[in-house]
Each structure stands twice: as C-alpha cells, then as structure tokens.
A and B are shown apart, each in its own frame.
Chain A
C-alpha cells in the first residue's frame, strides 16, 4: 500500500507491526510474514540509521521500536495509521492479531 512511497514492501510491514505491537524483532517479523530474515534485518538497519526506529538488546535479541525522538514521528504514524485502516480484515487477522498479553511459563497452549 505504501510500497510506492517507501520503495520497498518490507518497510510497510515493519511500520504496521510497530504501530500495532509497539515493538518487534527481525526473526519475529520473518516468521510472521514467512519471508527471509535478512530482508527484515537489512531494512531495520536502514531505518535505524535513518533515526526512524531505535533498538535495544534484550538477551540475544535486538528489539526495535519507533524512535520517540524522530522529529516526524507523529506525521509518520498518522500516515501509517491511515494506511493500516485500508488493510483487508483477513490480512489484519493473519498478521496483526497476535496474542500480546502474558502467558505463564509451562501453561499448555
């Protein structure tokens, strides 16, 4: 949807994911969208270098979030939110409805 603007289909997936879940990581994105992890790693790196997202290490995992200090964040989120409204329900359910509430370790799925 925003591919024409961002020049890359991966970027909008990253933005929609960050918009919905607030944070994400390369392997998680790759598993969700069933695409190679390096595709996401490359674009996450590019966005981080551009100051649009930031990351922190949690254990061995690099977690990414929108950069709250990015001066155009409000405007970017408005654009991404608007585009998100146009995603078909089926696609939203498939990619953007993961359980985020806690689940005690050892509890059966």
Chain B
C-alpha cells in the first residue's frame, strides 16, 4: 500500500509502525496524546506518537529506518516529509505506580494498533494533570471520557491510590458539567 507521508493520519501511521514492529516480533503500545487523538477522532490533534516497548532501541531503529525515519536523538525518530514525531519512551508500561494490565486493539487499513484502553488513556492524561497541574491534560482526559465508554469507578480508585482524590473530583465535576 502506497503511503502519502505528508497526509498520513495519526491512526494510520500508528498502525503502520505497530505492524512493521510486529513483523519483527516487537511489541509496542501506543500511549499519550496520540491515544487521545484516536479516541476523540482528532478533536484533539497530536503530532507526537509515543510508544512503549521492551525491545532494544537497536532493533526498533532498524524497523523505523526501513520506514524512512531517522533516529534524531536517543529515543526520537523523524521523517522529513512526515509531520509526526515518533518517540519510544522508556518502559515499563505503567500509569503512575500501576502496571497496565490490559491493552486495546484497533484495526485500520494499515494494520492493527495496540494502545491504551480508553480508561487507561484517561488515567494517563490525568496523571499529567495530577502531577504537573497541566490544564491541557485535564481537558484531554475529559475529551476521551466524553467520547468513549470509560470505567469511572476504576479511575476513581486509581486516583485515590495516587493520592489525588480532590483533583479527581474536579475532573468529574467538569466531565458532568
């Protein structure tokens, strides 16, 4: 399938990267803002694709190089004609101090994407709000929670465990407003 790198959608690029990695037996999970873009159908636009993988950066680099991406710094990859920036953040796959137990799979014409579930995507964004008071992250968490079915009781429990019950209440209030 021919790829128009300038116009490729974030979802298609994520799927393409996942597929190429899987072909080399490398598992990677999409996290961060790209999940928000996908779950909100680009209501929030992200140009960063953050993956978590336990594979070596050497093996990951080989796959990304085949796709025409250059390793910019230790963990970043860019392609001149592509607007997206790919990063392999340091493992493990976690949200706060909690291990991610379940992943989501989404099929596209370019292959399947493995990504955080909508509930974990909300937690992931809330973690940035909880720890850094990032208002954009709070907005993104609300966007995902409005666009997708999420388990609020699970998010509440996790928030309490992380020590941020009060901020969870703010999130809930804004979500229901």
Contacts and interface: CB of A to CB of B under 8 A. Distances in A.
B partners with A = yes
A1 interface: no
Contact of A69 (B75, B96, B99): B96
Given A69-B127, A69-B131, A51 B97 contact: no
A42 to B, nearest CB: 12
Interface of A: 49-51, 68-69, 71-74
Contact of A71 (B75, B96, B128, B131): B96
Interface stretch (B19-27, B86-94, B111-119): B86-94
Interface in B89-144: 89-90, 92, 94-99, 127-128, 131-132
A49 B75 CA distance: 8
A63 to B, nearest CB: 13
A11 B94 CA distance: 24
Nearest to A51: B90
A51 B89 contact: yes
B90 A50 contact: yes
Nearest to B96: A69
A6 to B, nearest CB: 16
B74 interface: yes
B92 A71 contact: yes
